[in-house]
Structure 1
Amino acid sequence: MGDHRYDLSHLPDSADAGANEPAARAARRDRAVRAAVAQGLVGPDEPIAGLLDVDGIRATAAFLHAAFDAVTAPGTPVLHAFAVKATPLVPVLRLLAEAGLGAEVASPGELALATAAGIPPERIVLDSPAKTPAEIREALRLGVALNADNPQELERLDAILDGATPSSPVGVRVNPQVGGGSIGALSTATPTSKFGVALRDPGARDWVLNAYAARPWLTRLHAHSGSQGMPLELLAEGLGSLYDLAEEINEAAGRKQIDTLDIGGGLPVNFHSDADDPSHAAYAALLRKTVPGLFDGRYGLVTEFGRSVLAKHGTVLARVEYTKSAGERPIAVTHAGVQVATRTVYNPESWPLRIAAFDAEGRPRTGDTVVQDVAGPA
C-alpha cells in the first residue's frame, strides 16, 4: 500500500473530542471513499486500496494518553508502545510516533520497521518469545528494552552479558494463568499458554523470586493476559497478580528493584460499530479501581495496545469486478479476499467485518438491501 494522503482539511480537527465520535468517523470514511474514487486511488486499474483515517488515529492516540493520565499520579512515566504486528507499516508507525507512541516489537523485522519510522530505542520494547543470541545482542547494543520469556532465555542473557550490567532495561514475562477468553488462540493467560513463565506452576514463583535476587539488573516485570475476546475483568485480575509479584520481589530485595511494570495490551475491540466499546478510558478506570497500586507513582508503566488503537480507523476499499449467482444466491466478486482478511475468511465468527456498498462514484448505495456473499481471491 502506497503512502497516499487525501485532503481532509475540511473535517473536524483531531483535537476536537467530537472528531472521534462514531458519526464523525462514518462521515470522514464516506467522504474519503468519494475522494479516493475521484483521485483515482481506486478504479478499473487500481481495484483495491487501504485507507487509514489519520485524524481518527491521532484522536485515539490522544484519548489513550488522556485515559492513563487521568488515573496515574502526576509525573509517572508511562510509555504506550504500539504493538507493531497490528499494522507493520513505516508511515503508520511514524504517524503514531508523532502522536507520542513508542513500539512493541516481536521480531528483527518489526524492530527494523520501528527504527525506520524514527522511533528511538528507549521507546521500543522487544517481546519475542524466541529471541536468538543475535537479536538479544542487537537489542542490548541499541538500548532497546526486552522481556525474557523463560529461564533458558535468562541464562542466555547471562552468558551474553558475562557479568556486565545491561544498558537496556530488562524484565521477565510471566503468565498469571488466570484463564482464557472467547478466542482460545489469543488467550495468553491459560494454564498451558505458551508465553512467559507460568506463575502458578509448582516452583515457578520461587524461581522468579530467586532470578531477581540473583540479578539486580532485572528492573521490569511483564504480563500480557490476552487479546481479542478477553473480558476486562480477567485482564485486570492478571495485572493484579503482576503487581503482587512486583511487590513481593521488591520487599525481598529490600529496595525498589522493579521500577517499571509492562502491563501489555489486549483491549478487545467491538467490531459491530464505530463506537469504542470498551474504551481505553474504561479499561484504565477499571485497573485503577482493582489494582490501585499500579498508578500511585511508584512504578513506571508500559502498555502494548495494538488493534484497539487502529481497528476503527481502517477501510479496505475494493471494486466489485463481477456479480453472479450460485444456487440462486447473489455473489459480489471483489479484489478483497484472504490476502487482506485472512482471519475473517477462516474464522468469521471471531473476526467479523462490517461491509458497506458504494456506487461507482464512491457514494453510499441506497435502496433495498440484498443478502449476498462477497467473494475474493484466495
Structure 2
Amino acid sequence: MAIAHSVLDFQSYSTDALNAEKIQLIESSVAQFGAPLLLLDCDAIRQQYRALQQALPTVTLHFALKPLPHPAVVRTLMAEGACFDLATTGEVELVQQLGVEPERTIHTHPIKRDSDIREALAYGTRVFVVDNLNELEKFRRYCDEVELLVRLSFRNSEAFADLSKKFGCSIEQAMMIITMAKEWNIRIKGLSFHVGSQTANPQKYVDAIHACAALMQQVVEAGLPALSTLDIGGGFPVSYNSKVMPIELFCQPINAALKTLPETMQVLAEPGRFIVAPAMTSIASVMGSAERDGQIWYYLDDGIYGSFIGLIFDDAKYPLHTLKHSSEYFASVLSGPTCDSIDVIAENILLPRLDNGDLVIAKMMGAYTSATATDFNFFKRAHTVVLNEEVVDQERLLG
C-alpha cells in the first residue's frame, strides 16, 4: 500500500518558497554533512513559542517533549522561560540532564508504573495526572509529595487524533476520583483535558473549559477542597499543505472562556506540535530512478520508515520542494529507500526531471519525524543539524 496524493499544481512543489539564502544553506549543509538531513532552526522555535505566548497571555505554557525531544529544543525553550510537560522516565532524564528546574515541569501521562512515579519524584516533579481510581491508588504512598490533576475526556471526532478515546474520564468518574482522593489524603490540584491533535475548531476548547468550570463548582458544592488549576492541553493547529486559522484568532474564544474562571485560577497548556512543526526542514537526495506505469519513480535516501513516518500515522502532508527549475514536468513518485513497497512518500505529483544526487526538500518537519523515525533495513536516520541556537546567549547579553 502507498500513501497516495492527487496530482497537484507544481507551484506547491516549486522553489518559490525557498529563497536564495535558504537554498545556499541547504546546499552547504549537504556538502558538509551529506544527506539525508534535518535542519533544526531554533529561531523558528522561539517565534512559535512567543506567538502562542502572546495569543494566550494568561496561560503558562508547558512544552510537550513528545513530538521533538531534542536537547537544542529544550535549551532554547529554557532560555525563553518555558515550562515542560513530561510523560515518561526518559523525558524526565532528558530535562534533568539539561538542567531544567523540576518546578518548571509537570508529568501528564495518565497511566504510570510505580517506577515512573518514583523517578519523577526523585527529580523533583510534583504535579501528576490521573484519570481512574486504579491510578489514584498508586499515589497513596506518595500523598505527602504530590498534587494531582484529574484528566477529563472530551471526545472530538473532528481532530486527527482523538486523544480522549484512550485517556480521560467522565464528569461522574471525576467526582468519584476527587471524593476518594480526600479519603486517601491525596491533594487534587485541578483538572486537565486534551481536545485532540490538530484541532481546527477552538469551540472544542471553549466547551471543555465551561464543562470544567461547572465541575469545579460541583466540587465546592459537595464540600470537597476547591480546585485551583486547569490544564487545557495541546492540539493547537499548524499549517501543512492546507491553511489553518492564525493562532491569535484561534485563541480569542479560548481567552474569552478563560476569563469566566476565577481570577485566582492557574491555567496551563501543553503545546507540542505547534512549537516545533515549523522548525525543521528535511533534505533528502535522489538515490536512483526508474519508469513504472507511466510515472518516474525517484528513490530517496529518506522515507516512510525514516523522517516521513508521520505520513503513516500523523495528519501531516509535508510541503515538498526541489531545487530545479524546468519548463517541463512529469508525473512522478517519491519513494523511500527501503525494500518495503509501503515506503512511498508521494504519488502522482508533477516534478521536473531529477538526476541522481538531486535534492528534495520537505518543510514543516519538526513534529513526530525524527522522534518516531526507525532504522529499518539498517538505513540510518537523518542527521539533525542545529541552526541559530547560539542566538539565545547573544539576545540575553544584548537585553
Flag whether TM exceeds 0.5 (same fold): yes
Could you tell me which residue of structure 2 aligns to residue 341 of structure 1?
Answer: 308
Give the aligned residue type for 1:373. V
Could you tell me which residue of structure 1 aligns to residue 354 of structure 2?
Answer: none
Matched, 1:180 2:157: yes
Which deviates more, 60-69 or 139-148?
Answer: 139-148
* Mapping for residues 217-236 of structure 1, pairs under 5 Å: 217-229=187-199, 231-236=201-206
Could you tell me which residue of structure 2 aligns to residue 169 of structure 1?
Answer: 147
* Mapping for residues 258-277 of structure 1, pairs under 5 Å: 258-272=227-241, 277=244
**1:72-116: per-residue Cα shift (whole Å, max 9, x none)?**
3xxxxx421111111011111111221222211211111212222
> CA 1:205/1:133 → structure 2, altered by over 3 Å: closer, same or farther?
closer
Asked if 1 retains the 8 angstrom alpha-carbon contact of 2:299 and 2:336, the reply is yes
For 1:137 and 1:287, how far apart are their aligned partners in 2? 35
Could you tell me which residue of structure 1 aligns to residue 367 of structure 2?
Answer: none
Could you tell me which residue of structure 1 aligns to residue 89 of structure 2?
Answer: 108
Give the aligned residue type for 2:232. I
Asked if 2 retains the 8 angstrom alpha-carbon contact of 1:213 and 1:253, the reply is no
Q: What is the DSSP-based 3-state SS (H/G/I as helix, E as strand, rest coil) of the residue aligned with 1:372?
A: strand
Matched, 1:281 2:248: yes
1:289 deviates by 2.7
Asked if 2 retains the 8 angstrom alpha-carbon contact of 1:188 and 1:224, the reply is yes
Could you tell me which residue of structure 1 aligns to residue 99 of structure 2?
Answer: 118
Matched, 1:240 2:206: no
% identity of equivalent residues: 23
Q: What is the DSSP-based 3-state SS (H/G/I as helix, E as strand, rest coil) of the residue aligned with 1:331?
A: strand
> CA 1:354/1:143 → structure 2, altered by over 3 Å: closer, same or farther?
same
Higher strand content, 1 or 2: 2
Asked if 1 retains the 8 angstrom alpha-carbon contact of 2:156 and 2:196, the reply is no
Which deviates more, 325-334 or 236-245?
Answer: 236-245
Unaligned ranges ≥5, structure 2 = 1-15, 339-399
Q: What is the DSSP-based 3-state SS (H/G/I as helix, E as strand, rest coil) of the residue aligned with 2:91?
A: helix
For 1:45 and 1:102, how far apart are their aligned partners in 2? 33
Could you tell me which residue of structure 2 aligns to residue 198 of structure 1?
Answer: 170
For 1:343 and 1:53, how far apart are their aligned partners in 2? 20
1:356 deviates by 0.2
Asked if 1 retains the 8 angstrom alpha-carbon contact of 2:155 and 2:162, the reply is no
Matched, 1:35 2:25: yes
* Mapping for residues 74-89 of structure 1, pairs under 5 Å: 78-89=59-70
The TM-score, its normalising length taken from structure 1, stands at 0.77
> CA 1:32/1:113 → structure 2, altered by over 3 Å: closer, same or farther?
farther
1:141 to 122, 125, 134: 122
> CA 1:66/1:45 → structure 2, altered by over 3 Å: closer, same or farther?
closer
1:182 deviates by 4.5
1:251 deviates by 4.2
For 2:23 and 2:136, how far apart are their aligned partners in 1? 50
Q: What is the DSSP-based 3-state SS (H/G/I as helix, E as strand, rest coil) of the residue aligned with 1:219?
A: strand
Matched, 1:298 2:264: yes
Give the aligned residue type for 1:150. N
For 1:316 and 1:65, how far apart are their aligned partners in 2? 27
1:347 deviates by 5.4
Q: What is the DSSP-based 3-state SS (H/G/I as helix, E as strand, rest coil) of the residue aligned with 1:325?
A: strand
> CA 1:303/1:219 → structure 2, altered by over 3 Å: closer, same or farther?
same
Which deviates more, 238-247 or 210-219?
Answer: 210-219
For 2:301 and 2:177, how far apart are their aligned partners in 1? 50
1:299 deviates by 0.8
Asked if 1 retains the 8 angstrom alpha-carbon contact of 2:301 and 2:337, the reply is yes
**1:200-256: per-residue Cα shift (whole Å, max 9, x none)?**
xxx42431441354346211211112112553222321232122222322443476x
1:326 deviates by 0.9
Asked if 2 retains the 8 angstrom alpha-carbon contact of 1:83 and 1:306, the reply is yes
Unaligned ranges ≥5, structure 1 = 1-24, 73-77, 360-364
Q: Superposition RMSD on alpha carbons, in Å?
A: 2.6
For 2:88 and 2:34, how far apart are their aligned partners in 1? 32
Give the aligned residue type for 1:32. K
For 2:23 and 2:100, how far apart are their aligned partners in 1? 31
> CA 1:246/1:170 → structure 2, altered by over 3 Å: closer, same or farther?
same
**1:162-191: per-residue Cα shift (whole Å, max 9, x none)?**
xx522x43222121x3432253xx1023xx
The TM-score, its normalising length taken from structure 2, stands at 0.73
2:286 to 316, 320, 324: 320
For 1:271 and 1:198, how far apart are their aligned partners in 2? 33
> CA 1:113/1:278 → structure 2, altered by over 3 Å: closer, same or farther?
farther
Could you tell me which residue of structure 1 aligns to residue 41 of structure 2?
Answer: 53
Could you tell me which residue of structure 1 aligns to residue 316 of structure 2?
Answer: 351
For 1:114 and 1:100, how far apart are their aligned partners in 2? 14
